[in-house]
Amino acid sequence: MEIRELSPAAVRRRVCLIEQRAHLFDATVRANLSFAHPEGPEGCADSQLWEVLEAVGLGEWARARDGLDTRVGREGALVSGGQAQRIAVARGLLSRAEVLVLDEPTAHVDPELGDQLIRDLLGAAAGSGMSDGSRSVILMSHVPVPQGLVDHHVGLRSALPSAEV
């Protein structure tokens, strides 16, 4: 489909960008997730929130705190970088977007946790929310992705000398 044929609102419904520095609101996990639901927070059931939290590996973490009422703090100050990234991916899953764009999802996590985070996020994105399996995931990363996790690799190089990049 030619993207120019779609309205900006239609593109936003179909494509969800999950940036490397996930924005979290100074609110609860519930509030940070539910606004992404296609029907808005009012149309989002707690069971759906728990489903996406489980998909990104945060179900047990949330239950050990205040559940969906767990506060994340201003700009995610009360969660780790990996937890913030997982919350952002859960939000993307809940949006039911056909395309998830993950921009440097391991940028704010310890390197030893990076491979597992990538496995978890790609697994969750591929297996949740789209009953017909039609979701695509675009992963942008400066670090190598573990073998077998992606279908296609595209490498980009700058034509500029390194001093100008």
Instruction: Read off the pLDDT of residues 53-100 as tens digits, 9 standing for 90 and up.
Output: 998 889 999 999 999 999 999 989 999 988 998 899 899 989 999 999
Between 26 and 152, the more confident residue is 26
pLDDT at site 128: 58
State how far the Cα of 132 lies from the Cα of 146, in Å rounded to an integer: 26
Amino acid identity for residue 71 in this structure = R
Q: Where exactly are the structural domains of the chain?
A: 3-164
Helix, strand, coil shares of the chain, percent, nearest 5, are: 45, 10, 45
C-alpha distances (whole Å) from 123 to each of 21, 80, 86 are: 20, 20, 12
**CATH, domain 3-164, list 3.40.50.300, 3.20.20.70, 2.40.50.100, 3.90.550.10:** 3.40.50.300
